[in-house]
Amino acid sequence: MKKINITAVIVLIGVLGGYLYLSDDKGLKESGVIKVGQISALSGFGSDVGQEERNGALLAVEYVNKNGGVGGRRLEMISEDVSIDKLKVTSSAVQKLVTVDKVLAIVGPQWDDSASIAVPLSLDLKIPIISPNSSPQVEEKVSSPYFFGTFYSDEVGIKTILKFAKENGYKRIAIVEPANFGFWKYTSDLMKKYAGDYGVEIVSEEYGNDLANTDYKTLIAKAKQSNPDAVFGSYADLECLFIQQAKNQGLNVPLLSTGSAGTPKALANCAPTLEGSLYYSTPGQDSKYAEFERAYAVRFGSKPLSPSAVTSYDAMLVATEAMRKAMASDGELSREGIMNELTKIKFTKGSSMPEIVFDEKGFVITEDGAFVVKGVVGGEMVDAKI
């Protein structure tokens, strides 16, 4: 971690208000520690995002502990490493956290593919799981009252990128996705569902079937034949590769994407390639987010770039708020009590949105206008005009 100027830290402590995680917490009870789990990609595919999700959850745990814990009891976070290239360990990671570590709730996992595996486990094990980065489609096969999501609605995000396309004259869009399942299929289906409302025509659909195959030239060649004004697809930290391959084949149109775009790795690796070529919808940021961002930078040495860093932070805060309410209501702390409190919670102390309320499926209700469109200018991600 980068060295921090102590004077700067002292100044920031005065600014951060509720984020005084540097304060003394020795008054917490050492007995009766409350264990919480956290799951994200700490290595492998998606680890840039996963590490930021882990950091966001850890920042929340430290904040809670520095402000009295939960009923005076200390929180302890136990993390497990699960990425798309290690999906098979999702089940064992959840099982370990519940049966061995005895956690009362879990924040995670990351993305729809691992979350889909976690949903039935949450029901079988009766463990509250709050994912900071998954969509409602993870409950298509199995619905669980124990599974929740704090990430903004991708439906609102897709409508935002379509509005951007309309305003910029991108009337013909080709869908080119690295896979035809999980989040890729979900967002592509949303794009097709709402395109007509914005005067946009989907002129081609091309899908890969192996995430390990990053040679997109065949998909690009097929999409090029439809003469699109723009391409839609979600490439996580592979935008550099996709855009460069598209340019090499003469497909010089923008890539429109979701909040999974604009990763730290992509920006560091190929900012000039992304400039004028990548636009993506991502949750907007207000003054409360700015406070979170400053606290995150002090703690970890850099600003968060993934939007799920803050939804992971809020997921952990929401979990602990549900714990407090369960203790006040039942006089004890149980997984079922936490789940019951989550279903009716109205949390206004988060940093991702003004109020966190879950719908009947357990996903956060997202207002229209929650997303903005970003692009790369001068090597930095900035707001693009809609």
* CATH number, span 6-152+286-343: 3.40.50.2300
Identify the residue whose tokens are 């390990």: 212
DSSP letter for 254, please: P
Decide if pLDDT at 301 tops 90: yes
What percentage of the chain exceeds 90 in pLDDT?
76
Residue 320 reports pLDDT greater than 80: yes
Phi first, then psi, for residue 145 (nearest 5°) are: -70, -10
How far is the C-alpha of 170 from the C-alpha of 333, rounded, in Å? 53
Q: Within a 13 Å sphere around the CA of 73, how many CA atoms are in the beta-carbon half?
A: 16
pLDDT of residue 381: 86
In the prediction, which pLDDT does 372 show? 94
pLDDT at 26: 53
- CA separation (Å) from 376 to 59, 270, 271, 273? 28, 10, 7, 9
- Output the pLDDT for position 211: 84
Give 6's contacts (C-beta < 8 A, 6+ positions apart).
none
For the segment 68-94, what is each residue's pLDDT rounded down to a tens digit? Answer: 999 999 999 999 999 988 889 999 999
The model's pLDDT over 108-150, given as tens digits with 9 standing for 90+, comes to: 999 899 999 999 999 999 999 999 999 999 998 999 999 999 9
Peptide bond into 136 cis (omega under 30): no
Q: Tens digits of per-residue pLDDT, 37-59?
A: 999 999 988 898 999 999 999 99
Q: Lowest mean pLDDT: which of 13-17, 285-289, 325-329?
A: 13-17
> Span 305-329, mean pLDDT?
95
The reply to whether 6-152+286-343 and 154-283+371-383 are identical in fold is yes
Q: What pTM, to 2 d.p., does this model score? A: 0.82
Work out the pLDDT band at 24, boundaries 50, 70, 90. Answer: very low
Specify the residue for token string 């882990």: 54
Q: Are 56 and 313 in contact (CB under 8 A)?
A: yes
On whether the CB atoms of residues 182 and 87 are closer than 8 A, the answer is: no
Q: Which residues contact 328 (CB under 8 A, 6 or more apart)?
A: none
- Pairing status of strand 230-232 against strand 201-207: unpaired
Which of 3.40.930.10, 3.40.50.2300, 3.40.350.10, 3.40.50.300 would CATH assign to domain 154-283+371-383? Answer: 3.40.50.2300
Q: Is residue 217 scored above 50 in pLDDT? A: yes
pLDDT bracket for residue 27 (50, 70, 90) = low
Domain ranges of the chain: 6-152+286-343, 154-283+371-383
More reliable by pLDDT, 263 or 345: 345
The radius of gyration of the chain's CA atoms, rounded to the nearest angstrom, is 21
Q: Is 5's pLDDT higher than 80?
A: no
